[in-house]
Amino acid sequence: MRCPAWLCEAPADLLAVLRPEDAILQLAFYCALALAGLTLLVLLQVLLLGELTRLRGRRRQAFNDHWRPYFALCSLSDELPEATAPRARNHRLWFLLQWNRTQLQLRGAAHERMNRALVALGMERRALDLLRGRVRARLIGLTCLRHLADPRHWEAVLPLLRNRNTSVALAAAQTLIAMDPARAMQTLLPLAAQRTDWALPRLTGLCLQAGAEAVTGPLLALLNLLDEPQRTRMAALLVYGDPRHAAPWARARLDEGAAAEALQIALRCLGELADPRDRTRLQRALAHAGTDVRLAALEALQRQARRDDSPLFVPLLADSNWAVRQAAADALAHLPGATPERLQHLLQEVDDRYGQDALRRAMVELKR
């Protein structure tokens, strides 16, 4: 069969007419042709991807529309509605994703009912299978197991705590904490000291999830074993521990005159505790050269401030640092028994112009 002239001969003729004689210009000419081809290919790709995204979105929407009423019934009633678990692999994944999303909005009995429904459908097994999959599958599986919070899954999740992928490791940590906070903190805190990819705000989140009781013991034990700089990094988490247990550590830091970062943490711990026996220590820290330390000491003292503590805070209105002056003014305005008249009287006693400004601002804010 012969190629039609319009398909084979005409383009070849056109190319021959357009092609320049010069070799370099010929090269540029072919580059331009290639560019035009590439541009068209990209356009096709854009359109194709758009269509695929729309199609996928519609399928997903239909799937969610099918299961949403089931989840609603599960969360409301103790009797599980009739259903068959999805069979297709991507449907199982969508199911677990939707289940995770629904669980995020539920608490108490409804949360428990949803857990029962998942187990009844045999999807708990699927969630465990996902732990052997790729990153996304693992994260979905870990989230499911976190909602289930069943200690029987401990051994399955534990290896993922050491996963190189930060998201997977942190998700595993959250799941372990959901199962048994005290045991989880004992396991993960030593690991957290080594893993610099676990940023401090993420560790703070884990500590908040575990609760003060679970954090303090293992953290204090760990601090004795660590060297700098890991020790200071991990010590920052003490603030989320039980201040009664952290107090001896904090007092020791203040007494030995530790580094400014450690002093701030110690002061925050003692501030939480608000033990009057620490007043002398806190007052001493008010004279520290570091602004942040003075500020932390002031805030700690404010938590246990008494009616007659104004002489403690008034000198700080003349502090060289803006933040300390404002905090001192706030402390004075919130002293027990502070009245507008008393504050007005105090204001007249303040010589420092910036201190007066700070106190005036705190007085106005108090009125609101």
Partner 1 sequence: MSVDWLWWLQLGFLGYFLLLNGTYLLLNLLSMASLMGYMRRRAEAGEAAPYLGVEPPVSVLMPAFNEEATIRTSVRSMLQLQYPEFEVVVINDGSSDRTLALLIEEFELLPHPEPLRQAVPHQPVTAIYRSRRYANLRVVDKANGGKADALNAGINASRYGLFCGVDADSILQRDSLLRVVQPFLEDERTIAAGGTVRIANGSQVRGGFLIRAGLPRNWLARFQIVEYLRAFLFGRLGWSPLNAVLIISGAFGLFDRERVMAVGGYRTDTVGEDMELVVRLHRHHRKARIPYRIRYLPDPICWTECPEDLGTLGRQRSRWQRGLAESLGRHTRLAFSPRGGTPGWLAWPFMTLFEWLGPLIELAGYGFMLGGFALGAVSPAALALFLLVAIGMGILLSVNGLLLETLSFHVYSRRRDMLQLFLMAVLENFGYRQLNTLWRVRGLWQWFSRRKHHWGVMRRSGSWGQ
> Which residues lie near partner 1 (CB under 8 A)?
20, 22, 24-25, 28-29, 31-32, 35-36, 38-39, 42-43, 45-47, 49-51, 53-54, 100-101, 135-136, 139, 166-167, 199-202, 204-205, 208, 322-323, 325-326, 354, 357-358, 360-361, 364-365, 368
The nearer residue to partner 1, 43 or 252, going by C-beta atoms, is 43
- CA atoms of 92 and 252, how far apart (whole Å): 55
Instruction: State in angstroms the smallest separation of the CB of 6 from partner 1.
Output: 24
Decide if 340 contacts 367 (C-beta within 8 A).
yes
- The b-or-e profile of 141-158 (16+ CB within 10 A means b, else e) is bbbbbbbbeeeebbebbe
Give the 3-state DSSP-derived string for 263-281, with helices as H, strands as E and coil as C: HHHHHHHHHHHCCHHHHHH
Q: Where are the alpha helices (DSSP H) in 286-352?
A: 291-302, 310-313, 322-333, 340-349
The nearer residue to partner 1, 275 or 292, going by C-beta atoms, is 292
Of residues 133, 134, 235, 215, the one with CA closest to residue 173 = 215
Q: Which two tokens stand for residue 46?
A: 């854009």
> How wide is the angle at C-alpha 245 spanned by C-alphas 244 and 248, nearest 5°?
95
C-alpha torsion sign, points 134, 137, 140, 142: negative
The nearer residue to partner 1, 45 or 339, going by C-beta atoms, is 45
C-alpha torsion sign, points 362, 364, 367, 368: negative
- Count of other CB atoms within 10 angstroms of residue 338: 19
Using only the alpha carbons of the chain, give its radius of gyration: 33
Count each helix (H run) and each strand (E run) in the chain, helices first.
20, 0
Residues near 306 by beta carbon (within 8 Å), at least 6 away in sequence: 335, 336
Instruction: State in angstroms the smallest separation of the CB of 50 from partner 1.
Output: 6
Instruction: State in angstroms the smallest separation of the CB of 276 from partner 1.
Output: 30
The nearer residue to partner 1, 244 or 322, going by C-beta atoms, is 322
Instruction: State in angstroms the smallest separation of the CB of 328 from partner 1.
Output: 12
The nearer residue to partner 1, 251 or 325, going by C-beta atoms, is 325
- CA atoms of 219 and 238, how far apart (whole Å): 7
Decide if 240 contacts 216 (C-beta within 8 A).
no
Instruction: State in angstroms the smallest separation of the CB of 199 from partner 1.
Output: 5
Instruction: State in angstroms the smallest separation of the CB of 252 from partner 1.
Output: 26
Instruction: State in angstroms the smallest separation of the CB of 79 from partner 1.
Output: 31
Instruction: State in angstroms the smallest separation of the CB of 113 from partner 1.
Output: 23
The nearer residue to partner 1, 38 or 76, going by C-beta atoms, is 38
Instruction: State in angstroms the smallest separation of the CB of 81 from partner 1.
Output: 26
The nearer residue to partner 1, 45 or 280, going by C-beta atoms, is 45
C-alpha torsion sign, points 94, 99, 102, 104: negative
The nearer residue to partner 1, 157 or 247, going by C-beta atoms, is 157
The nearer residue to partner 1, 200 or 259, going by C-beta atoms, is 200
Instruction: State in angstroms the smallest separation of the CB of 33 from partner 1.
Output: 9
The nearer residue to partner 1, 304 or 321, going by C-beta atoms, is 321
